[in-house]
Structures are given as C-alpha cells and as structure tokens.
Structure 1
Amino acid sequence: MKNKTVLQNGFLIFLGIGLFFLLMDLLGLASKNYLRFLNAFIVLYGIHKTIKHNYLKGKMDYFENLFSGFITGVFGVFLGIIGLIFFIYLKGGESYLTTLSDTFFFVGKINIIQYCGVLFFEGVASSLIGAFVLMQFYGDVAISHKY
C-alpha cells in the first residue's frame, strides 16, 4: 500500500476493537450482545480519520476517498479477526467459543473458522456502509485546515 495513513488508521481500529473487547471480557460483559455494536463506532472513527486526512492533503476524488476509507476498515477488521482467533485459542478454543457464539447471529454448533468468517464478512459490509455514509457527509462539508 502506498498510503501509510490507511495502514495506521487500520491498526488504530484493530487496537481500539481489541482493547474494547478485552475490557468487556475483563468486566464480565462479553455476553452482552448489545455492547458489541459499539465497535462500529471504533471502525467509523478510523475510517473518518483516513477520509479526513485525504481531504486535508487535497485528495478530493470521491471514489479514491471511498476506497481508502473502505480499505482502512477492512484492514482493521482483518487484524481484529486474527486477534480474535488468537484470543479464542488462548481462552480455551472451541469450549470458549460456545460462550461467544450464544448470540442471535449463530445457531447450532460452529467452529472457530466459521465464527470468525461470519464476523469478517459482517465487518467488511460494515466498513463499506460506514465509508459510504462518511463520504456522503464529506460531499457536503468543506474541510477546514483548523482541525
């Protein structure tokens, strides 16, 4: 990748999601499904930082900024899924997965790869929707160099 901002913000998404879920696990809130939706704000924040940086650097092409934001989200989600796989294995593997998969997304017995695959595709879809929504905002707002 020639744009290191995409990589930096993708890594920031990974750190944010990782810390958020570690904190939820430490506080015993990992089973609260509604709290898991808050990670969308972490992904949106990273995508927003990339798009804002592009505008501040004079990159005004809609599709270039949309793609940069999307790739930022996908990179962060990909790293997050890799981290989740390691975390699941550290916590006990398939036996720990049964406590995680007790949500409305999954029914029946699944394995780690199926669980993480579904979460990855959900993250990719969220990244695309998030990048598109943020680009709609930036299409109407002139970016100031003050922030």
Structure 2
Amino acid sequence: MTSTKIIIKYALLIILLIGGFFFLCKLLGLEENPYLRFLNLLFVIIGIRQAIKTSIFKNKETNYATNLGIGIQTSAIAVVVSIIGVALYVHFINPEFLAVMNSSFLIGGDLSLSEIVITLLIEGMASSVIGAFIIMQFYKNHDKENLNE
C-alpha cells in the first residue's frame, strides 16, 4: 500500500469518526456540550496510530521521519476537511450553530465564521503534530528486525 493510500484511507476514517460523532451528538441533543469536542482528539489519535502502524507493518517502513510525516499528513488532511464540513454546516444548514460555538469556553468571544475556522485550523494542526509525535514515541523503538520476516 502506498503512503498516499495510507494517508487518504486513515484521513477518511478520522473524518467519518468526527462527522459521525457530531451527528450522533446532534441527534441526542448534545451538540452544545463543548466537552465532547475533546473526543475529536481521540479520533485523530486513532487515525494517526492506524496510519503509522500500517506504514510500519505493511510497508515495512522504519524511517522515523517518514512515519511521522505520514501521521501528520493523515491528521492534517482530516482536520482541514472536517473544518470545511463545519464551515459548510454553519453557512448553509444551521447558522445558529455559530452562536453555540461562540458560547463555548474553547472558542469564547464573538467571532465570525472565518475567525472560528482559523481558530479550529490552528487547534487542529497543533493536535495533528502533537498527536503524531506522541504516537511515534511508541513506534520509534519498535522491533525492526521482526519486520523483515
């Protein structure tokens, strides 16, 4: 499996997990609970882990920088697409959700949609890089000798 396929596959997994969770919260009336946004980080970590693990075990890739890059790219693509989804949701489907986001302690303030998008982008990219580094700490000393079997 090529690195590009790994990145796309697990970016889509992250997008589906985040989007599915958002709509589940919406169905349950929990979309206004800002604490549930922390679970998005869990979904990003799951996707990063799976991408790096696939790169190591299926591609036999043991280079730290390559696997770190796969993790960052996977989560960065997922974050960007998810933010586009949020922006489209607020702009076309539910403009009142902007007020919900502004009342959240995580955003806080009277921000426009574009300012919230920038905030989410910074937050998402930071979690992408940090998440990839955290996962790579587990795999950096992984038993490389057994990968050649």
Q: Under a length normalisation based on structure 2, what TM-score does the superposition of the two structures give?
A: 0.89
2:14 & 2:126 partners in 1: Cα distance?
15
**Matching of residues 1-147 of structure 1 within 5 Å:** 3-56=4-57, 57-93=59-95, 95-142=96-143
8 Å CA contact retained: 1:74, 1:124: yes
For residues 60-100 of structure 1, what are the alpha-carbon distances to aligned partners after superposition, in whole Å with 9 as ceiling and x for unaligned? 0001100110000000001100111111123332x330122
**Structure 1 ranges of 4+ moved more than 6 A:** none
Letter in 2 for 1:139: K
1:102 & 1:78 partners in 2: Cα distance?
23
Q: Cα offset for 1:2?
A: 5.8
Q: Cα offset for 1:101?
A: 1.8
8 Å CA contact retained: 2:19, 2:82: yes
2:42 & 2:135 partners in 1: Cα distance?
12
Letter in 2 for 1:3: T
1:9 & 1:92 partners in 2: Cα distance?
28
8 Å CA contact retained: 2:61, 2:67: yes
Q: Cα offset for 1:124?
A: 0.5
Q: Cα offset for 1:34?
A: 1.2
For residues 6-31 of structure 1, what are the alpha-carbon distances to aligned partners after superposition, in whole Å with 9 as ceiling and x for unaligned? 01111111111111111111211112
2:3 & 2:67 partners in 1: Cα distance?
14
What is the number of residues matched between the two proteins? 144
Change over 3 Å in CA distance of 1:134–1:2 after alignment to 2 = closer
Q: Under a length normalisation based on structure 1, what TM-score does the superposition of the two structures give?
A: 0.90
1:128 & 1:39 partners in 2: Cα distance?
15
8 Å CA contact retained: 2:72, 2:132: yes
Identity %: 35
